[in-house]
Amino acid sequence: MRFSVNRDVFSEAVSFAVKLLPQRTTLPILSGVLIEATENGLTLSSFDYEVSAQTEISAQVDEPGTILVSGRLLADIASRLPNAPVQFTTNENRIVVSCGSANFTLLSMPVEEYPSIPQISGETGLVPGEDFAAAVAQVAVAASRDDVTPVITGVQLEVTDNRLSLVATDRYRVAVREIDWDNGDNTAPESLVALVPARTLQEVGKTFGHSSTISVAFTSKDDRELIAFTADKKTVTSLLIKGSFPPVRRLFPDSSENYAVINTAELIEAVRRVSLVLEREAALRFTFTIDGLTMEAVGSEQAQASEAIDALLTGDDIVLSLKPQFLIDGLTAVRSEYVRFSFTKSENTNKPGPMLITSQSSKDQPGADSFKYLLQPNLLLR
């Protein structure tokens, strides 16, 4: 095999292919990137039996062929090559990479032992790239990082008519966002549901966020349910998580007459300052009154901190305790100048119910997006 390719194009393609590879694997073969050279150009692929990435780029191919090479090593090399065309040639089980005055010789991996890359044809629907990336970034932060319960380490995608909902929870908080969904010419069923690993979805959002549209395809092959995302000659497929996602939508209140509106950036900075004295996992006390919001923290070695900021309260005064990082995650995801805290009641009259965070474009005008972040207070005080 022999080909020549633009350095920047090749480096970007390798980086994409290795991005979703596992950091550690019991099968070294799965750490490789498959490069197929044909008269149409290059196809670079990676696959670990759960997630695959594939991209096509242009290249001058003198001798077609297929090689498998260590992905992360190739990515490191490609990112540091001088500004010149990259030449690839093979000699038995060795791969020679030349670029300007730089030369590398790499050992090839056995192509015949590499698993077949999932191929998914057609599409189920289309989503706007920028909106999808924003929605993933807002929602995925609420997914659990505890692999003991795999079902909540994912983001649930729910298609109904012309809307796509993204939902995530780690039991302590729930995040939901809706965006447009285009069925195209497909006579799709009334609803579709897919539970996608949050880490995979986050990489898809980052990778395809600048694309005008992303093609999404749901498929089932040999008892393996897959989802595929395609844009700009790049495709990512992922095995879906099996199991029943908890019915978290019923936790959201229909309305609330008790709420506060606060400047988002001012609140984030204040929370970060006051929580400096807290020990890890400790809660921050919030007191909402007609005069504004007061935050109080009591840490180790009798360290204390407090701060008061402006807040426009409607309804009754309320006191609750929240984990600072969970709150900051929600505030950062809101992406609006102001934020609205809607307070709910629990069955126990002495304890507040979940608090709903939504965007607020001004002190008296709700935000335009559908993002909702539900946070359970007093978790650490029970």
pLDDT of res. 191: 79
Cα separation of 369 and 333, whole Å?
Answer: 11
How many Cβ atoms are within 10 Å of 290's Cβ, its own excluded? 10
User: What order of strands is seen across the sheet that includes strand 304-309?
Assistant: 304-309, 292-298, 284-289, 318-322
Cα separation of 193 and 211, whole Å?
Answer: 23
How many Cβ atoms are within 10 Å of 145's Cβ, its own excluded? 9
Cα separation of 20 and 22, whole Å?
Answer: 6
* DSSP per position, 289-348: ETTEEEEEEE-GGG-EEEEEE--EEESS-EEEEE-HHHHHHHHHHH-SSEEEEEEEE-SS
Which residues, including other chains, have CB under 8 Å from residue 116's CB and lie 6 or more apart?
none
pLDDT tens, residue order, the chain (382 aa)? 999 999 999 999 999 999 988 877 788 999 999 999 999 999 999 999 999 999 999 999 999 999 999 999 999 999 999 999 999 999 889 999 999 999 999 999 999 999 999 988 778 899 999 999 999 999 999 999 988 899 999 999 999 889 999 999 999 999 999 999 998 766 655 678 999 999 999 999 999 999 999 999 988 776 789 999 999 999 999 999 999 999 999 889 888 899 999 999 999 999 999 999 998 888 999 999 999 999 999 877 778 999 999 999 999 999 999 999 999 999 999 999 999 999 988 777 667 789 999 999 888 888 888 999 999 875 433 3
Cα separation of 285 and 306, whole Å?
Answer: 9
Which residue's structure tokens are 């002495």? 350
Average pLDDT, the chain: 91
Q: Each residue of 318-367: pLDDT tens digit?
A: 999 999 999 999 999 999 999 999 998 877 766 778 999 999 988 888 88
Q: Tell whether the torsion through CA atoms of 79, 81, 82 and 87 is positive or negative.
A: negative
Q: What burial class does residue 138 get, using C-beta atoms within 10 Å of its C-beta: 0-12 exposed, 13-18 middle, 19+ buried? A: buried
Model-level pTM?
0.90
Q: How far is CA 130 from CA 53, 169, 214, in A?
A: 20, 23, 9
Question: Pairing mode, if any, of strands 292-298 and 304-309?
Answer: antiparallel
pLDDT of res. 301: 74
What is the amino acid identity at position 50?
E
Which residue's structure tokens are 């549901």? 193
User: What order of strands is seen across the sheet that includes strand 86-91?
Assistant: 60-63, 2-5, 86-91, 94-99, 102-107
Cα separation of 316 and 217, whole Å?
Answer: 48
